[in-house]
Amino acid sequence: MRDITPDRRTFLAAALAAGTSARALAAAPPAMASGPVEPSWNSLVANYRYPEWFRDAKFGIWSHWGPQSVPEQGDWYGRFLYMQGHPMYEHHLKTYGHPADTGMMEVQNQWKADRWDPEGLMQRFVKAGAKYFVSLACHHDNLDCFDSTHHAWNSLRVGPGRDVVGTWEKVARAAGLKFGVSNHTSHAWHWYQPAYAYDPEGPRKGERYDAYRLTRADGVGKWWEGLDPQQLYTGRHMVAPDGIDTIEAMNEWHDKHDGQWIETAPPGDDTFARQWLLRQMDLVSRYRPDFCYFDNYELPFGRYGLAALADYYNRSIEWHGKIDVVLTAKQLKPYARFGLVQDVERGFSDHLWDEPWQTDTCIGDWFYNRARYTNRSYVGAEAVIQRLADVVSKNGNLLLSIPQRGDGTIDSEEEKILDDLARWMTVGGEAIFASRPWRVYGEGPTELQVGMQNEGRFKGFVEGDVRFTTKDGALYMLMLVPPTRPLSVRALGRRMTRGEIARVSLLGGGPVRYRQTAEHTVFDLPRSEGVVPVLKIAGRGLV
């Protein structure tokens, strides 16, 4: 075992109790990469170090794009189309037909990506400041968006007829970006169970949906000949029983059974978990991603998740001579925090982290929602930059999704947001990229609520909210809202900093007048028309 810090020893002790030995992984396929990393928390924590490229990158853009973009209705279309009374069910009924006749597999085949310009989009992403790019590889709808060896329902056989991940990988690397993939498919087995249900009310009451009745034999002479719908829809694991006769009762049944966020394999059946592992190993061996996102609380399926992570790290050692990759997951327990990177989905932190972490969020819904364009409800560039400054000041990265339509394009509002980001990055990026946290993350009136999925309750930053970063001996202060009066900052008083400010300048502007006392520093700033102005502060003993 390599030398480890006392903090790591503490976490290793806890990891031993939760670990899984190599022998216990007898069910894992023999194609796992060999190397020093074993599928146990003890080994993962002992071997992992956060790559410097990730700490420098700070900002990534995510193409959270797949067949659920086709209806332009937003998130979880492939589940909600099977839930009578839901707006997506109503949209599906009007647009595609009844889900007993036309289900998600038919929507998947309508994902053609016929106007997709990956090179043009990547140019925009680079200008907007992205240092890494992430392609969705497979979502809960269980379609692999890549040249999948172990899953016939993939984007070469269904829909675009293209290797979406492979195309993004080539374009991202050609643009000089680190490349990543996201894997959400471990949840497909419970997410799809409404596809086996039925309308509890109305003229087709009790008639089971397409997943319940279709088999491979039904595809003869059709576009999906040779494909097994049960492989796509994952099989009958939690099927609603006959006799439910109200929409409310059906919703209650799904909420109680398949509507939970489940990290285990289907009850009594490890086949799905083994197949997930094969697909994950195929994905990383084929595209050698620098980054991998798991849509999981910790790791999925126990020993299979540990095997996937060990396989990825050992492959990185083969590729780079060291572990130079990042895998993120959510809600990590203490013993896991030093073995991979924690992701906080659509949420906030109220403190400076000791280790690198990531927030992932989106300017709209994860999958394209036309209503976001028509009612002008996207998150604008100013809010994105504020969020980036807040996350980076706390030792984190921001991964931002830009939703694409089913044809591969983005709309004019999204283009404007990217252009606005690009303008700010030409000046403010100096305080972001390759920076490190200061001794405190910042200060201000706004108190953030810690946790995931809480952005909807956030009321916005206000004047006086500032964040700090450091780079090359300089201290940067990002003002999340441009001040309209002299700005007093307690963290920069001599008593707090134990240092002396020598000069202050506004990035993209000129010198700024200031008065430093023992208790605070007051800055007299010119009135700004821009967003998130940044001060560069030099002096003795500040950094």
How would residue 31 be classed by pLDDT, with cut points 50, 70 and 90?
Answer: confident
Q: What pLDDT does 12 receive?
A: 37
Q: How many of the other CB atoms lie within 10 Å of CB of 427?
A: 16
d(CA 255, CA 13): 37
Residues of the chain with CATH 3.20.20.80: 6-20+30-68+115-185+269-431
Please check the confidence at residue 4 and state whether its pLDDT lies above 70. no
Decide if pLDDT at 119 tops 60.
yes
Structure tokens at 334: 């203490």
Per-residue pLDDT, 464? 97
Task: Report the alpha-carbon distance of residue 441 to residue 394 in Å, rounded.
Answer: 6
Q: Please give the Cα distance from 408 to 420 (Å, whole number).
A: 21
pLDDT digits (tens, 9 = 90+) for 329-383: 999 999 999 999 999 999 999 999 999 999 999 999 999 999 999 999 999 999 9
Does the pLDDT of residue 327 top 70, yes or no? Answer: yes
pLDDT more than 70, % of the chain: 94
| DSSP per-residue codes, 128-176 | TT-SEEEEEEE-TT--BSS--SS-SSBTTTSTT-S-HHHHHHHHHHHTT
Tokens, residue 87: 């707006």
**Dihedral angle over CA of 151, 154, 157, 161, nearest 10:** -150
Q: What is the Rg, in whole angstroms, of the alpha carbon atoms belonging to the chain?
A: 25
DSSP 57-78: H-EEEEE--SGGGTT-B-TTHH
pLDDT of residue 456: 87
Predicted confidence band of residue 15 (pLDDT cuts 50, 70, 90): very low
pLDDT tens, residue by residue, 397-453: 999 999 999 999 999 999 999 999 999 999 999 999 999 999 999 999 999 999 999
Q: How does residue 526 score in pLDDT terms, banded at 50, 70 and 90?
A: confident
Q: How confident is the model at residue 227 (pLDDT cuts 50, 70, 90)?
A: very high
Question: 6-20+30-68+115-185+269-431 belongs to which CATH class?
Answer: alpha beta
Distance CA 317, CA 312 (A): 9
Start-to-end CA distance of the chain, whole Å, equals 34
- Measured distance CA(134)–CA(294) in Å, rounded: 12
pLDDT tens by residue, 132-189:
999 999 999 999 999 999 999 999 999 999 999 999 999 999 999 999 999 999 999 9
Q: What is the DSSP string of 363-377?
A: SS-SS-BHHHHHTT-
Query: How is domain 442-540 classified at the CATH fold level?
Result: Immunoglobulin-like (2.60.40)
pLDDT of 529: 73
287, 293, 296, 299 alpha-carbon torsion, rounded to 10°: 60
Every domain of the chain with CATH number 2.60.40.1180 lies at 442-540
